[in-house]
Chain A
Amino acid sequence: MSGHSSVHDAGRTPRHAMPEQLPVEPPEEQELIAYLEPDQLVAETFRPVTRAILTRNAAVVLWALRVFVVLVSLMVIYTFVVRLH
């Protein structure tokens, strides 16, 4: 486990502690919020994850995908247009 906030701990109880940066909330909200994972809150899900640092193999796969997409796109578009007529 990397330990960052979007990775979950399966052993945690529902009444987990709140992240430090969150403000103090009214009791009814405390009750409700206890049922959600910290990174499940809408405000938290709007925080973008960082770009992945790709390994050499992953970079090769993505380049192969680019070539595949260009070639197959041309074929599929041509096929689709021909068959429409």
Chain B
Amino acid sequence: MGTPEVAAPSPLLRQPLLSDEDTVRSHDRSRVHDARDQHKRWYLLWLLVGPGILAMLGENDGPSMIAYASDGAQYGLGFFVPFIPILFLMAYVCQEMCMRVGAVTHRGYGELVLQRYGSVWGWFGAGDLCLTNLVTLIAEFIAIRVGLAYFHLGAGVAVALGFVLVLFTLSGGRYWRWERTVLGLALFNGLFLLAAILVKPHIASIASSFSFTPLPHGGFNTLLLLLASTIGATVTPWMIFFQQSASADKGMTPEDVRHGRYDTAIGAVIAAIFGIGALVAGAALLTHGGSGIQGFAGAGFPEALRRVAGSSAGTVFALGLIEAGAVAILTISASTAYAAGECIGVSHSFNTSPRSAAVFYAANIGVALLAGMVILIPGAPLLSIALNANVLATVLLPVSLVFMLMLANDRGLMGRWANRPSTNVVGIAVITFVSVCGAAYGVDSFLQAIHVIGS
């Protein structure tokens, strides 16, 4: 693949040299160059963080935090406290490649797969992503609804809140504004850490849980399902699409790869800490009937926490769920919009106006609106949809990871920024592990559905 990779010049080059998108991006880049020239290290870091933290904290979404809390309520802290950081370490390995490909090629994941490996794979990825994202977004609205129920507010408020947030963040016409707004909101993911503090856990029990014992009780199938669903959901298809496209949209270049790694690592660390916070908060219910609280069936989680640990813990946990769902709605809608724009071949940037990037904005708003409308349908099987969101992702996840690895190894695109052999060893191991776990989860769910194995 060492041949020139760019086709003949397009007539587009004869249009005005700088588009509005270029102008906005160059202003952002000028600040980066100035900070770098003046050796303002912290300011440079501040300018360049964003996509990595958003991808990681976006993955700490409503369903994930409820899952962590459920794990704590059912199994306690043992095993999961050391397990969660390992999951995010694996997520870092995958997301770093996305960031690097985006920064070097200035192109999103969807368009590169489509152009480099053919329209079948490109459209399959985008189509499956849109379906998976829609189902996941429904789960996010349900998470907001669960949080709002603690304050005696209904589904209509949940939909309105999510939709207004999407419209508000899109209103600036700049990637920078969108990113900073969502980052500001995402920091409230720390509410789960506050909830963990409020339940007054025994520090000694948290420290002792780092021994990876005891293993979660239950049968082998239960254990497999638990591990596979958790691991398979750690790196999700939307994160891959999102971080590569957002890195390109932010205007990152190879010079910024080092800071992109910091960004991704910071995101992984704080997401792991906040995830453990949800786990610790949930573990407060372990000896108070917590085993009966599973997934979204435990919609009364904040209420249960209030009874055990006081109203402050319940309130903070409910607010955390609202935040987790809201941030995920924004990032997942964005990944859908990027994928739609890239595959259709039209403008796909927050740095453009809605008039110039109608498909991008319509996809962003449309998928959020559609998901919100679903949860307003009386009698819709919301619980089933929410619980099965990860099953759908099992198809796309291995495909996404394999293409990501191929892109990161593509020397025609990446040049000297392509994966090193050592990166490939780690990357292939992680991707194989995550893919097998994701596929195992899908196969296990199928075998349960046809009653070959018990649930």
Contacts and interface: CB of A to CB of B under 8 A. Distances in A.
Interface of A: 1-10, 14, 21-23, 25, 29, 32-33, 35-37, 39-53, 58, 61-62, 65, 68-69, 72-73, 75-76, 78-80, 82-85
A4 B5 contact: yes
A37 B30 CA distance: 12
B7 interface: yes
Contacts of B254: 8-10
**Interface residues of B, dominant DSSP:** helix
Contacts of B347: 42
A23 B163 CA distance: 43
A22 B394 CA distance: 45
Interface residues of B, number: 75
Given A42-B21, A65-B399, A75-B442, A49 B115 contact: yes
13 contacts: A2-B411, A7-B104, A8-B415, A25-B17, A39-B106, A42-B22, A47-B7, A49-B105, A53-B1, A78-B450, A79-B388, A83-B387, A83-B391
A6 B6 contact: yes
A1 B415 contact: yes
A2 to B, nearest CB: 5
Contacts of B391: 76, 79-80, 83
B107 A45 contact: yes
A14 B33 contact: yes
B12 A46 contact: yes
Interface string B79-92: 00000000000000
B420 interface: no
- Nearest 9 CB-CB pairings of A with B: A7-B415, A75-B446, A1-B415, A35-B29, A8-B254, A32-B26, A82-B449, A79-B449, A35-B26
